[in-house]
């Protein structure tokens, strides 16, 4: 059980697009290296420079898009060197509408975990749970701020989903998905009112809007 896998999701709240579940794994000994080399430092009071502080984990949503992309590219290099493993599973808006968001997340987790990791330690963010057959699992509240493996999974899930939404923006150019990534921003609501719902909108998330009949 020397390998540890972190799991987190991205895209639970948007009105459009899939939800993504990220899995990030590495040997336990990589934990300190990831903390030191991937995440920024928090400056202590009175410390002269940022590098004088202590390393701390930051939720991917609190990192800038550029910082997330920078970290993701580092992950790609580490994966190429077989030092880490990560993958992302997407669950479509149609399944979200049919099964509900909670079941969609569970489906994403199941798709992301292979039998090869049955004996590995698995750490999940928030209230997430892996299937019962994964005995060595632990759910950590605010895990993306406390556990480096979950934090890495969070970045993988977020960057992958953002990239996908930018691709979908080319297919559905009227909605500005490259800007808001499907979240319910003022711009997104305005464009929905103007054009109605697209094929990738979550109808169950938009059912209270008055534009469904447009």
In this prediction, residue 56 carries a pLDDT of 61
In this prediction, residue 208 carries a pLDDT of 77
- 188 contacts 160 by C-beta, under 8 angstroms: no
Tokens 């990030």 sit on residue? 24
**Run of H or E residues at 109:** helix 101-112
28-40 pLDDT, tens digit each: 999 999 988 987 6
Which residues on neighbouring strands pair with residue 137, listed in sequence order?
122
Cβ-in-10-Å burial (0-12, 13-18, 19+) of 180 comes to: buried
In this prediction, residue 42 carries a pLDDT of 55
131-157 pLDDT, tens digit each: 999 999 999 999 999 999 999 999 999
In this prediction, residue 210 carries a pLDDT of 52
Residue with the bigger pLDDT between 190 and 52: it is: 190
In this prediction, residue 149 carries a pLDDT of 96
In this prediction, residue 207 carries a pLDDT of 86
**CB within 8 Å of 114: residues ≥ 6 apart:** none
Q: Name the average pLDDT for the chain.
A: 89
| Helices and strands in the chain: count of H runs, count of E runs | 8, 7
Average pLDDT over residues 115-144: 94
In this prediction, residue 53 carries a pLDDT of 43
**At residue 43, does pLDDT exceed 80?**
no
**At residue 172, does pLDDT exceed 90?**
yes
Question: In percent, how much of the chain has pLDDT > 70?
Answer: 88
Domains in the chain, CATH or no CATH each? 3-168 (3.30.420.10)
Residue with the bigger pLDDT between 59 and 183: it is: 183
In this prediction, residue 44 carries a pLDDT of 39
């Amino acid at each position: 059980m020397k390998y540890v896998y972190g799991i987190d999701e991205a895209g639970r709240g948007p009105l459009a697009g899939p939800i993504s579940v990220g899995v990030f794994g590495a040997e336990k000994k990589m934990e300190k290296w990831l903390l030191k080399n991937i995440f920024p430092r928090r400056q202590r009071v009175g410390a002269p420079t940022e590098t004088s502080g202590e390393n701390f984990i930051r939720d991917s949503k609190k990192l800038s898009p550029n910082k997330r992309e920078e970290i993701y590219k580092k992950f790609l290099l580490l994966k190429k060197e077989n030092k880490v493993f990560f993958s992302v599973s997407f669950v479509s808006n149609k399944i979200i509408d049919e099964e509900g968001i909670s079941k969609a997340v569970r489906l994403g987790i199941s798709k992301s975990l292979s039998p090869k990791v049955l004996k590995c330690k698995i750490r999940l963010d928030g209230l997430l749970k892996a299937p019962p057959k994964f005995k060595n699992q632990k759910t950590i509240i605010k895990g993306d701020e406390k556990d480096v493996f979950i934090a890495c999974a969070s970045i993988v899930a977020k960057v992958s989903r953002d990239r996908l939404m930018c691709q979908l923006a080319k297919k559905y150019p009227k909605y500005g998905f490259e800007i808001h990534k499907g979240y319910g921003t003022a711009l997104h609501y305005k464009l929905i009112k103007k054009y109605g719902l697209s094929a990738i909108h979550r109808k169950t998330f938009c059912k209270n809007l008055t534009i469904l009949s447009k």
